């Protein structure tokens, strides 16, 4: 029987974009996109945190807040880059466009992206934080227990999130993004399992990963249920404000949980990671080999996986393994 290898943390993370994948390692990130002509375009950039050099990035429960903001910024940049290859024929510039470009000049694209990001976050807060409270408050005259009301609100919040994930998974364009999402996970799992990064090895790896953003968002939902259960105020206005004010705290706690999940495989970690892994069955799909090639290109642009395998697993990659897509005592974990 093949020997089962333990996962070892690599430090790389990524995100699916339009017909491509972003992979980040430390301060470097690469976006690989399959262009309409079939070629793979790779852009390598350097990204510093919004609090670069600050000790805040080393403080537990605080660093997660800035990591979350950084991921939003980096994600928007990566999406804009990939979308640039698939934009429709340039539309006629409107008067509003001209005024916007005249005001912000060469920073117009960055300002517009920032506005879109802030607007998106505001919509998310409204749907996942404020809406469940508002709907639950309609039953206050029928339910006298504050604890039970908090539980109802929490269940509703999780249900809305899962429903949202399920609904967008039915969209054709999103399904392709989810295939690239699967390719991203498979690449990271392949490396962290100690396998040479080849198309065949990646295809045999799992499309679910404990450090996934889907799992992070589900942790956010669960943590919010717990905090809102114990932190209560009487005024309806203050209740809404508290839910918004606690978002950084929720993000910080959730980050520490998922950070632990990515570095440990004990039974407790597997239990708390299980709901997120199940939900990833909706947000990841099996990619084809062409998508895996894009993912590999993104990884290799910022990560020396051969050096990592030698350091973490103690063996040098033989070129013959790359030809045959084999690894000594190999095992498959595809599911």
- pLDDT band of residue 116 (cuts 50, 70, 90) is confident
- pLDDT band of residue 275 (cuts 50, 70, 90) is very high
For residues 56 and 76, what is the distance between their CA atoms, to the nearest angstrom?
A: 23
What SS3 class is residue 41? Answer: strand
Mean pLDDT of 197-215: 95
Residue (of 200, 300, 277, 324) closest to 7 by Cα position: 277
pTM score, whole prediction: 0.89
For residue 41, give both structure tokens.
């375009």
For every residue of 54-113, DSSP letters joined together read -GGGGSTTTHHHHHHHHHHHHHHHHHHHHHTTSPPSPPPPPHHHHHHHHHHGGGHHHHHH
Q: What is the pLDDT of residue 302?
A: 97
Q: Express each pLDDT in 244-273 by its tens digit.
A: 999 999 999 999 999 999 888 889 999 999
Q: Express each pLDDT in 3-30 by its tens digit.
A: 556 789 999 999 999 999 999 999 999 9
Q: What is the pLDDT of residue 266?
A: 87
Distances (CA, A) of 305 to 187, 199, 223, 309, 313: 11, 14, 35, 6, 11
Q: What is the pLDDT of residue 1?
A: 38
Residue (of 211, 249, 198) closest to 227 by Cα position: 249
Contact predicate 128/225, CB 8 Å: no
Question: E strands along the chain, which residues?
Answer: 12-17, 20-25, 28-34, 40-46
Dihedral of the alpha carbons of 223, 226, 228, 233, in degrees to the nearest 10: -140
Own/partner pairs, 76-80, CB within 8 angstroms, 24+ separation: 76/113, 76/116, 76/117, 77/45, 77/47, 77/113, 78/15, 78/17, 78/22, 78/29, 78/31, 79/17, 79/18, 80/109, 80/113
Percent of the chain with pLDDT over 70: 90
Q: What is the pLDDT of residue 333?
A: 66
> How would you classify the pairing of strands 12-17 and 40-46?
unpaired
Q: Express each pLDDT in 277-331 by its tens digit.
A: 999 999 999 999 999 999 999 999 999 999 999 999 988 887 665 665 555 555 5
């Amino acid at each position: 029987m093949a020997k089962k290898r333990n996962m070892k943390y690599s430090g790389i993370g990524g995100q699916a974009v339009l017909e491509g994948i972003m992979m980040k390692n430390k301060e470097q990130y690469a976006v690989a996109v399959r262009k309409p002509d079939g070629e793979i375009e790779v852009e390598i950039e350097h990204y510093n945190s919004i609090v670069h050099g600050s000790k805040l990035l080393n403080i537990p429960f605080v660093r997660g807040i800035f990591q979350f903001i950084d991921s939003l910024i980096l994600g928007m940049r990566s999406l804009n880059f990939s979308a640039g290859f698939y934009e429709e024929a340039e539309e006629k510039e409107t008067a509003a466009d001209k005024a916007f470009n005249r005001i912000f000049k060469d920073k117009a694209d960055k300002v517009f992206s920032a506005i879109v990001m802030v607007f998106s976050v505001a919509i998310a807060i409204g749907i996942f934080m404020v809406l469940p409270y508002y709907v639950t408050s309609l039953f206050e005259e029928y339910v006298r227990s504050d604890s039970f009301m908090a539980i109802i609100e929490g269940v509703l919040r999780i249900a809305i999130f899962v429903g949202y994930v399920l609904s967008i998974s039915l969209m054709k364009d999103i399904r392709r993004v989810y295939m690239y999402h699967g390719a991203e996970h498979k690449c990271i799992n392949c490396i962290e399992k100690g396998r040479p990064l080849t198309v065949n090895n990646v295809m045999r790896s799992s499309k679910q990963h404990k450090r996934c953003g889907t799992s992070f968002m589900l942790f956010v939902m669960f943590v919010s249920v717990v905090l809102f259960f114990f932190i209560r105020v009487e005024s309806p206005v203050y209740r809404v404000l508290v839910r918004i004010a606690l978002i950084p705290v929720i993000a910080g706690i959730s980050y520490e949980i998922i950070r632990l999940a990515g570095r440990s495989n004990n039974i407790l970690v597997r239990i708390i990671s299980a709901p997120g892994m199940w939900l990833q069955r909706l947000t990841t799909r099996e990619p084809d080999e062409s998508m895996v090639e894009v993912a590999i290109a993104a990884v290799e642009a910022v990560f020396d996986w051969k050096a990592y395998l030698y350091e973490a697993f103690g063996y040098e990659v033989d070129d013959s393994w790359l030809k045959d897509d084999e690894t000594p005592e190999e095992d498959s974990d595809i599911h």
